[in-house]
Structure 1
């Protein structure tokens, strides 16, 4: 295990930060701005080194994608938090207890930092999944320890070095290591724990956190569906689906996974998606604009899903072809109506493959989606507002994009997170600030207490009993 201060272990970092948090007391708005700005300045200063590291970790990830997704995505979260948290941190006045409010009793909710936040990031967005939640954690006045992904070790090291140069480990630190370190990390008594990753690992994280009653934010993913209504423009839907799936070669937690369309338009949609994807990537192997699958294990996993479908006789449309052994870039595989027992039907794909399914009525598709686990994202294409609203009312997902895909996570002033198997809790905006704050109710008594003169204290009298009985109303 290594970290931004290698002489300190995980528990030592946590204890150090907790002690400093308690000793400091209230965290001023000025200090919160300073911490957020330090992270912003760090990213600006190290952007080239971080993009280069992400490219190396993926074996050729385009620098423009790393810059757009991880650098600018993180900066957007940090700057929004920096510029708006003052509007979120003030006390919230609340009605006091009747009838004592008539005698000057008041009440309010005070939002206080929880303390020390543990944040476990993932490899597909190795900066964004750490620094976007950190933005809300710092805005709320907390300190934090970041656990980087071992699948992106070069990025982890560049980040750890950059944090060590700019931050006291009492405020922010970075821990590196594999699954055993992640297990140790998740078993600590954090004041809040954030994890981004698979549902299977998320269950382990939550079980470990439960031993210390640590509240968790889990961002987990799932098989995010796309519903193409009959009123949708097929060419427009195809282009946006192709573009969304191309991002990071489908290695995004909100990547479109299963596309539903009326049976009469299935072939046209498949052909249009393939055509749009081929325009972006006329070649596969060695294409510097295409992100490789991150490592051999995930390359083999995605390939196995596609090969399993082929072995079952399922129609598979592959957009382009990859030369064996050249690199880990894969063509986009469109898998048409695979059976439920197919591997690609049962698992989140998280790579350059996508399932296309047909329906006769969109209600059939929604029913099928509702039978499965709730996804992190749901997408609807169409101009029929009645149908759009029906879909929204009869489905549940972490978030929704309409007439586009993978866009709602970019909403900095709206919560991002999952529901059910796709996660719990959220960050971004005021909701993210609240996620990492303790909402502390405060009651302040007035100058006069009427309870004794009103017979509200023992020995009780008949008048008080009658007053209580009269208060019981529908």
Structure 2
């Protein structure tokens, strides 16, 4: 466990190092990114094995596809574009101030704190770390105590590949996380639940630490009247069932036309049989992270059933509390009261909600806190535009799920209850940079005409400015 004085000492060491090189050159930043990439390639197998052990069962293929690939891709993107991102940028100058010049100077914020959740511990550590290093910062990373094997290994390997005055990884329980969030960072990025996000923001406010909060919420999938249902079902279930639904942007529930409910159920059972044959013995279906989460999933289902919901298993496999394997299940006719319709599910339960026309689906989404993600399946352009114009969400994927998170050209983040701020690619560089505005006065300028004493000439100039300013 790391105590508060030790955390403060680490922060001070990083601050001192940053003060000695407040604006690292691109070769310095690129070297740090290349070292990080080297670590990921060389420790690929060890990292996947540690994550598998922490979950009890998570396929190597899932870890490499969903964590290793986007991490390496983010580094490649930053190495390709980072030199250009850090250049001074020209900004327009008001006509009245010409021939002066405006520009923006991207500067590192300083020392950045990153709080990592347990569900994707590799990618959600490396992703923001890449952006922070590309922007020239020093970084402290707090790993999750729910993935102890991977967290310890990651800390050990980061210390091997990167200098301890550039990146430091710390581990510990919730008390350490609270002390970490209370440090006076120059920027703090937290990924986790909305409930903990409230606490992090309150704690950071004591130091006026700017925060980026990547939270969660109930991300809907809307199946429009013109959707290709077979494709929609498969893509929704793939997005729902990778990592057994333990994904902050997993489809949380489905809104679909009432007349297509039975077709959805039938297609869903066929899809799960195809994706996970022999699910009871499959090594390609991920376990829930802990006994507590397994029990929560069963409780959410049972509460819904007690309130009148119909539970539809999508596989014949029984729940296995020893291996924490919880088979996917649909929930139909669920009233609004049960927690499964109010809390983020974060597991392989999928409620279906019927609508009679698309406006009802839009109203359902808008009556609830803004989600982190929204998925729309539809072929009609006008319907797509209507849904996009009349809903708010952190990000959207049309005719698929999850993929907006993997786009380096799109910022990733929430809105309202699902978070604030964003990162990935250039957006991440800017999150961890201060774009310092600079006004450079020209040698020859008219500023002297606007100083006291105010006489007739000043008043004529002022009228001109007010008329044409």
Q: TM-score, normalised by structure 2?
A: 0.97
- Per the alignment, in what secondary structure is the counterpart of residue 241 of structure 2? helix
**Which runs of no fewer than 5 residues in structure 2 stay unpaired?**
none
Which of 16, 19, 31 is the matching residue for 2:16? Answer: 19
Contact 1:286 1:329 in 2 (8 A): no
Contact 1:249 1:290 in 2 (8 A): yes
1:311 matches 2:306: yes
* Cα deviation, residue 7, structure 1: 12
Which of 104, 109, 127 is the matching residue for 1:109? Answer: 104
Which of 347, 352, 368 is the matching residue for 1:351? Answer: 347
1:245 matches 2:227: no
Residue aligning to 2:73: 76
**Cα distance in 1, alignment partners of residues 405 and 106 from structure 2:** 25
Q: Deviations over 1:352-399 (max 9, x none)?
A: 111100000111111111110111110011110000000000001011
Residue aligning to 1:287: 282
**Cα distance in 1, alignment partners of residues 210 and 437 from structure 2:** 19
**Cα distance in 1, alignment partners of residues 38 and 281 from structure 2:** 34
Residue aligning to 2:454: 460
Q: TM-score, normalised by structure 1?
A: 0.96
Contact 2:294 2:321 in 1 (8 A): no
- Per the alignment, in what secondary structure is the counterpart of residue 329 of structure 2? strand
Q: How does 1:401-412 map to 2 (within 5 A)?
A: 401-412=397-408
Contact 1:285 1:327 in 2 (8 A): no
**Cα distance in 2, alignment partners of residues 436 and 323 from structure 1:** 44
Contact 1:302 1:351 in 2 (8 A): yes
Residue aligning to 1:328: 324
Q: Deviations over 1:338-358 (max 9, x none)?
A: 111111001100001111000
1:56 matches 2:53: yes
Which of 268, 271, 296 is the matching residue for 1:273? Answer: 268
Contact 2:311 2:331 in 1 (8 A): yes
Q: How does 1:249-264 map to 2 (within 5 A)?
A: 249-264=244-259
* Cα deviation, residue 450, structure 1: 3.2
Residue aligning to 1:396: 392
**Cα distance in 1, alignment partners of residues 345 and 255 from structure 2:** 16
* Cα deviation, residue 323, structure 1: 4.9
* Cα deviation, residue 234, structure 1: 0.9
Which has the larger displacement, 78-87 or 194-203?
78-87
1:203 matches 2:198: yes
**Which runs of no fewer than 5 residues in structure 1 stay unpaired?**
none
Alpha carbons of structure 1 residues 84 and 111: separation in structure 2 relative to 1, 3 Å? same
* Cα deviation, residue 324, structure 1: 4.4
Which of 371, 378, 382 is the matching residue for 2:378? Answer: 382
Q: Deviations over 1:95-150 (max 9, x none)?
A: 33543423xx2221100011111000110000111110111111101110110000
Residue aligning to 2:6: 9
**Cα distance in 1, alignment partners of residues 13 and 279 from structure 2:** 49
Alpha carbons of structure 1 residues 180 and 149: separation in structure 2 relative to 1, 3 Å? same
1:131 matches 2:121: no
Contact 2:319 2:327 in 1 (8 A): no
* Cα deviation, residue 26, structure 1: 2.1
Which has the larger displacement, 236-245 or 149-158?
236-245
Residue aligning to 1:450: 446
**Cα distance in 1, alignment partners of residues 81 and 460 from structure 2:** 51
- Per the alignment, in what secondary structure is the counterpart of residue 99 of structure 1? helix
**Cα distance in 1, alignment partners of residues 400 and 188 from structure 2:** 31
**Cα distance in 1, alignment partners of residues 60 and 80 from structure 2:** 28
Aligned length: 467
Residue aligning to 1:473: 467
1:339 matches 2:335: yes
Residue aligning to 1:95: 92
Contact 1:285 1:326 in 2 (8 A): no
**Cα distance in 2, alignment partners of residues 398 and 179 from structure 1:** 27
1:424 matches 2:420: yes
- Per the alignment, in what secondary structure is the counterpart of residue 111 of structure 1? strand
